[in-house]
Amino acid sequence: MACTNRQVAKTLRLIGQLHELRGDGPFRVRAFMAGADLVERLERPVAGMDEDELVGLPGVGERIASVVREVCETGTSTELESLQAELPPSLPELLSVEGIGPKTAGRLWRELGVTSVAGLIEAAKHGRIRRLKGFGPKREAELRRGAERYAGAGHRMNRATAGELLAGIVAVLAPGQWAVAGSYRRGAATVGDLDLVSCQDPREVNPRLREIADEVIEEGDRRTSIRFRGERVDLRFTTPDALGPMLVYLTGSKTFNIRLRDRALLAGLRINEYGIADRSGAGLATYPSEAAMFAALDLQYIPPELREGSGEIEAAERNAIPALVAGEGLRGDLHVHSNWSDGSLSLAELAAEGERRGYEYLAVTDHSETLGIAHGLSERDLAEQRRTIEAVNRTSGCYLVTGVEVDILSDGTLGLPDRALADLELVVASLHSGLRQDRDRVTRRVVAACENEHVDVIGHPTGRLIGRREPAAVDLPRLIEAAASTGTALEINASPYRLDLEDVAVRAARDRGVVLSIGTDAHRPGELNHLRHGLATARRGWCTPADVLNTRPLAALLEGTR
Ligand code: DGT
Ligand code: CA
Ligand code: CA
Ligand code: ZN
């Protein structure tokens, strides 16, 4: 039974969440959540540990230990299965609605029988939600708006969900014989459905897909579509000698494909997913790779992230596609929370995580002390944290940059005095409240933050939460001007729930000479892996290494943010 620490952690977290939905006591919920965090950051595989060793871990009781053993041995847990049998399967969907946490979702279910987003909208229409103790008409209207926004978003997946779906599919495909395409490969912030190309024999693949599918939408030896965990997956079959054109076609975007085809037509060529032919469709030439296909079209290679039909073909004709920032160019993460505020890792553990990932540095940017944010740090806390960081840095291979994520308050001032900010190496300033202010007011706040000499980065500049919360009405051209003239970086928050700034704004900022800072905003160790989503967004914004703060060596980073 293959079982990684990450899979075990995920199961533990899911059990905790279901207990919370059921209204079980906070201790039980916390035990599973804490167990998940611990397993996730453990270096040793839990699969190789017996129950005694597991109980020996800090914070792991017998109950968690036995669930871990069971998951490792059987791939599932009886506790999870009985919770899933007891709770309506659509209930976790409620958690995707803005303003609904496990407590509220649990109450809506137990007290009103609401089990889905559609049911929530229905209940709100009939004024049933306001009757819940502590709710009222205002709260009901808010929840209804959130539910309608979620339902109207057409259910596009975030990249984390799409990535999990992909892992589930490729687990039944032969390694090295598939490639992912579509919007996921282009690095888009949201994914409508998953597209894959397979070079395997359809007679091998189709039965395996049938086995894992909720529903087979279409099955054949050229294409197969299934519904898997509620989402659509499209698969196209090809052979290794003709992989290039199929991959180009299925990667898209549609606009890119159409522009590429129109351009080829001018040269008397016809492109489709099988290759390049002449105008009459005769003499089909196939290509084993995308690179060979672009070469045949007399074009520079265009990375998938740029294939949106927004000038990339013209650039490729002139050999002017820039060398985009790449994963190996990133030296660290510039927005991370520790257990000094609301994160789960200690400073030493963060440094160890950074070292394990080969990072040169990791910026500790805990929340400032402001009303409404749990465990924010005061000026004194920050001074103390700085001393601890200095001690960690004496032995760590990954340098912890001292920083803060300071609140931009409703009146545009910051949550900490200048003298506290002056002592820190990296200051990220973010909006966390007053996100519904009008355009002028909210824009003046972020512009004022840029103008503060201590602020180095504006964090998640629009505050959007994908599918859950609309961005604030920030006037981006004005913010970009302010960032450019003050030398303030704008963040690409790499959380798959945010991806803020978004790609188009990144490109506009970059064109104006603004530097972008990629930060995961990680609160748990697993979230440090989100850096790649921020990287994809930077690439979609045409960023080269020089445009990204994280590519700078430590000394240059500290010099620039001093
Ligand atoms: P999504 O799924 O909405 O996030 O976006 P995509 O880009 O993955 O779109 P999807 O799944 O509908 O189709 C995958 C690719 O197939 C798309 O990027 C380009 C290609 N494609 C789909 N429909 C057409 C079409 O009508 N014409 C052309 N030329 N290509 C298409
Ligand atoms: Ca797709
Ligand atoms: Ca598709
Ligand atoms: Zn934040």
Domain ranges within the chain, ordered by starting residue: 1-87, 157-237, 242-317, 327-560
Helix (H, G, I), strand (E, B) or coil at 47: helix
CATH of domain 157-237: 3.30.460.10
Q: Is 253 in the pocket of ligand 1 (CB under 6 A)?
A: yes
Cα torsion through 499, 358, 303, 475, rounded to 10: 30
Question: What is the pairing mode between strands 190-191 and 215-218?
Answer: unpaired
Alpha-carbon span 68 to 243, nearest angstrom: 42
User: Which residue's alpha carbon is nearest to atom 15 within ligand 1?
Assistant: 250
Alpha-carbon span 529 to 534, nearest angstrom: 10
Q: Is 434 in the pocket of ligand 1 (CB under 6 A)?
A: no
Q: Which amino acid is at 403?
A: G
* Whole-number pLDDT of residue 372: 57
459 C-alpha vs ligand 4 centroid, how far in Å? 7
Ligand nearest to the CA of 373: 4
Q: Which of 231, 257, 272, 273 most suits a substitution to test ligand 1, by most atoms within 8 Å of the C-beta?
A: 257
Helix (H, G, I), strand (E, B) or coil at 465: strand
For 327-560, CATH number out of 2.30.30.110, 3.40.50.1780, 1.20.120.160, 3.20.20.140 equals 3.20.20.140
> Please, what CATH class does the domain formed by 1-87 belong to?
mainly alpha
334 C-alpha vs ligand 4 centroid, how far in Å? 12
* Whole-number pLDDT of residue 229: 83
Q: Is 230 in the pocket of ligand 1 (CB under 6 A)?
A: no
User: Which residue's alpha carbon is nearest to atom 5 within ligand 1?
Assistant: 183
Q: Which amino acid is at 328?
A: E
Q: Which of 183, 251, 258 most suits a substitution to test ligand 1, by most atoms within 8 Å of the C-beta?
A: 183
154 C-alpha vs ligand 2 centroid, how far in Å? 13
User: Which residue's alpha carbon is nearest to atom 10 within ligand 1?
Assistant: 182
Contact of 442 with 473, CB cutoff 8 Å: yes
Determine if residue 300 is left, alpha or beta; phi over 0 gives left, psi from -120 to 50 gives alpha, anything else beta: beta
Alpha-carbon span 289 to 529, nearest angstrom: 29
194 C-alpha vs ligand 3 centroid, how far in Å? 6
Residue reference for tokens 């909720």: 214
Q: Is 182 in the pocket of ligand 1 (CB under 6 A)?
A: yes
Alpha-carbon span 193 to 466, nearest angstrom: 16
Contact of 544 with 329, CB cutoff 8 Å: no
428 C-alpha vs ligand 4 centroid, how far in Å? 9
Topology given in CATH for the domain delimited by 242-317? Beta Polymerase; domain 3 (3.30.210)
Q: Is 231 in the pocket of ligand 1 (CB under 6 A)?
A: no
Element (H, E) at 19: helix 5-22
Number of Cβ within 10 Å of residue 410's Cβ equals 13
503 C-alpha vs ligand 2 centroid, how far in Å? 18
User: Which residue's alpha carbon is nearest to atom 23 within ligand 1?
Assistant: 254
Per-residue pLDDT of the chain (562 residues; tens, 9 = 90+): 457 888 898 889 889 989 988 888 888 888 999 898 888 888 888 888 888 888 888 888 888 999 999 988 888 899 998 888 888 877 877 887 888 888 899 899 989 999 888 889 989 999 999 999 999 999 999 999 888 877 766 678 999 989 999 999 999 999 999 999 999 999 999 999 999 999 999 999 999 999 999 889 999 999 999 989 878 999 999 999 999 999 999 999 999 999 999 999 999 999 999 999 998 889 999 999 999 999 999 999 999 999 999 999 999 999 999 999 999 999 999 999 999 998 999 999 999 999 999 999 999 999 998 755 667 899 999 999 999 999 999 999 999 999 999 999 999 999 999 999 999 999 999 999 899 999 999 999 999 999 999 999 999 999 999 877 889 999 999 999 999 999 999 999 999 999 999 999 999 999 999 999 999 999 999 999 999 999 999 999 999 999 999 999 999 999 988 7
* H runs (alpha helix) in 23-158: 26-41, 51-55, 62-74, 78-86, 102-112, 117-125, 136-152
Q: Is 323 in the pocket of ligand 1 (CB under 6 A)?
A: no
Give the number of the atom of ligand 1 that is nearest the alpha carbon of residue 253.
Answer: 18
Q: Is 183 in the pocket of ligand 1 (CB under 6 A)?
A: yes
Q: Is 309 in the pocket of ligand 1 (CB under 6 A)?
A: no
Cis check: omega of the bond before 430, within 30 degrees of 0: no
Give the number of the atom of ligand 1 that is nearest the alpha carbon of residue 186.
Answer: 7
252 C-alpha vs ligand 1 centroid, how far in Å? 6
182 C-alpha vs ligand 3 centroid, how far in Å? 7
φ, ψ for residue 301, nearest 5 deg: -60, 135
Q: Is 250 in the pocket of ligand 1 (CB under 6 A)?
A: yes
193 C-alpha vs ligand 3 centroid, how far in Å? 5
